[in-house]
A and B are shown apart, each in its own frame.
Chain A
Amino acid sequence: MQNDVVLKMRGITKQFPGTLALDEVDFTLNKGEIHALMGENGAGKSTLIKVLTGVYEKDGGSIWVEGGEGEAHIHSPQDAQNIGISTVYQEITLCPNLTVAENMFIGRTSGQVVNWKECEKRAGEILSNLGIPARPRQQLGTCSLAVQQMVAIGRAVDMQCKVLILDEPTSSLDDKEVESLFKLMRDLKSRGVGIIFVTHFLEQVYEVCDRITVLRNGQLVGEYPIEELPQVELVAKMMGKSLDDLADFEAVGEKSTGAKEVVYEANGLSSTDCRPYDFSIRRGEVNGFTGLLGSGRSESVRAIFGADRVTGGKVRVKGKDVKITNPHEAMKNGIGYLPEDRKRDGIIADLSVRENIILALQVMKGFFHPMSKAQMKQFADEYIKALQIKTASQDTPIKSLSGGNQQKVILARWLLTHPDYLILDEPTRGIDVGTKLEIQKLVLKLAEENMSVTFISSEIEEMLRTCSRLIVMRDRKIVGELTGEQLTQGYVMKTIAGGEQ
């Protein structure tokens, strides 16, 4: 082991039922460096971190930590802390009702009686040492999120940590708060702490990191010094494309872009989770939002549907000014939305396939206008056939269907309401290739029948195949709108990556 290596992971393998989450992954962290761990959803970043922090037991491979004798055995978060690995999570894992000092020392004092005076004194030293703007006796809940995050880091640092893992620490911070967090990170780096930085924000990576390790589908793609991996190449690696693919100008199929009337138009639409943006879609058009995970693409369409609290903007549906502040109003205006997380927002697991199909229509009609059983059966049958949903019967609980078939049921739910405008957020995630193609075909067919569709997917090929217009987002901002000739893999990725080439 070299002198400046603080953490070495070799051949880490982790198996979950049905998937190989980590496949022989290597990771090396040096003293005094900030090391970005990058990858799209399902790449294995969080699994790797959880193995390192003892939340998961690894199935294979070994871990060495500087100063430890031989291999490190990490079976619990406590073990990880004891050998100098500390983690600061995305959500703040402190107690808002306690004081800053208590949060820094609780759970790691010895003896039954705690000398809080002493703790407050030491907390004060750490805070001023690291330049964290908090007072030891202040109640944590009165600090801003960034300061709370820093207090968590202060606690971690005081535990003699050699390896500090920051798991998306910036996702809820504003620009100024991010800046002060970075200052703290650089300061720790100069003191020799090795920092693993996980984030979705590409620009932040290039601002603070020294090296990047990229994972994809549970495998190591590679480890690169930051100056050798331009932003666009990083995106290509995360998405599993080589630069050759980027140069490859793929022919784009003919898609109708006829000048039909605008179905939906928004000016300066914003919600609690997305910044103001303009957007419109024409009858029979298929467009898409693209960008990396966390770029704000889902948040933007959720605002259209009123799924998050809408905070501003003018909306026109078919030329009429309307207000859409909740999903019910969106539905009444002919907008349907298939959510990204079907387990959480979509299916009602214990209800039958039929009841799940009927749901949206029933909500639209109002609960005081029940449909007859025969009518419900007829609707359900019609759509089970049309979408080729594989289910034992329409009375089967939806939870016993496969993911792809569940997705089709939810799709059927929205088609039944005959929306003018349908938003599909990652409709093909986690379903098999055959069903994916079916859904893509269905989208194009719906567009031919004059329905407008917004399609979101992590797979660019899929978007290129279906969309005639792509809205590209990065770091919660729209950075480009691509049509016609611009719709190629290379161009899309360059737009996603942005920045200097």
Chain B
Amino acid sequence: MKKYIYIVIFAVLGLTLNSCDLETSPSTAADDTLVFSSVENVDRVLNGTWRYIMETYSTWANPGWASLLLTSEAMGSDAVVRNAYGFYNQYTFQATNQSNNGTVAHIWALAYRAIDNMNHIITKIDDVPGDTATKNRIKAQAYALRGYMYLNLGTFFVGKYSENANNLAVPIYTTPTDGSAVGNARETLSRVMKQAEDDLLAAHGLIGSWSHGTAKHKITRNIISGILARLYLQREDWADAAKFAAEAETNYNWMPQADYLLGFNDLGNAEWIWAHGQTTDQNNIHISYLDVTLSSTEGYANFMADPFFMGLFDEDDVRTQLFQWNTTHFPGFLMYKKFRQRPNTTADQVLMRKAEMVLIQAEALAGQNLLPGAIAKLNELRNARGAQTPDLSTLSQAELVEEILIERRKELFGEGFALSDIKRRGKSVVRRALPDGMVVPGTEILARGHNILQFPNGTPFVANSPFYDFTFPVTETDRNPNWKN
């Protein structure tokens, strides 16, 4: 008998330690049904998408959405990228020219991940309980971010709009994908830009007067207007560009001149319309490439300035104060100390400023041949920077446009417009070698300027070159049965 009691005890013990419930759930993710159960949670998809696009790395050289902005900057005329880790291959026009390049694939993946998330919001929010005003605001923000993504895809993967409108661009998705999705076909550039325009206009109509406070990444009406202004600028629809740019900068003031020297790291800046913040636990290292005051032990410090670029500035201009020759860590390079990280190694990422909107107005007015208005807008910026305002009234329309484009380079250095401006204006990258034997003033250190002076195939830089267009990632073209070249 005792034996059987033993057996029963141990068998019961053995079996009670078993659980027949095989259900488990993650601590780092939520079921989709929970996410679309309340407007508050749907709103969080916007916020989570921002986190995703700003903070996702594929390597350290692909720091979130800043990868695109820095790539655009590296492929222009004014930044001299040191041959160090990150963005040098963009500078040499080799990275974006390769279908298996990680940066292009990363940008592509970030954009479409954001689009899919926005599609979830746009198609599902109507069935979620909550008040209409909140739903409209969320939906508008989703439309706006989707529109922004299509605008950027259309900008960087295809050439100048007016010459490529009917060429195939990128696929469009307006509903969330599931396991059955195989990939949509490419649409024409005009169709993609129309999608972006429709999204942004829908957002503009729905957003209402809503303030984002210090959460400057959250999309407001001003931001939507600003993105629309960029879109119309690209399409050379000057009247709409001017109108929306003016609307975008409403209520924003010029920063004091001294603030221009503070390191471009604080979204509290009066001119900043759109920006994504950083905290010590969210500190994507984008700034490390731009902060040339760092030594290579502290950061990457890759983006130096072309000494010829310095020649575009006058001595009264507050921005001139940012130039400094390096004689220690990177001897011979010219630093442009616009971007510096905060002591805690963070820096907010600027996405849109009043200055850009003023320059869009200037360019758009000039585009409509309204030259005095354009000059006034240009001078508004120059005055704000303490720069000289020479008489421009004698310039032709083309000359004035050129003047404005140069001002864009000077004002927006490092903010991601270098390549897109070259493309949309059908211009060429211009990089010149420094004069023989040029040294850093007061030293014997040889000055360092551009070291890549032609395309990788040995041909000179020209306008409308295919080297300016990102090559579609092989992770798309190989896998998408509907893809056509």
- Are A and B associated in one complex? no
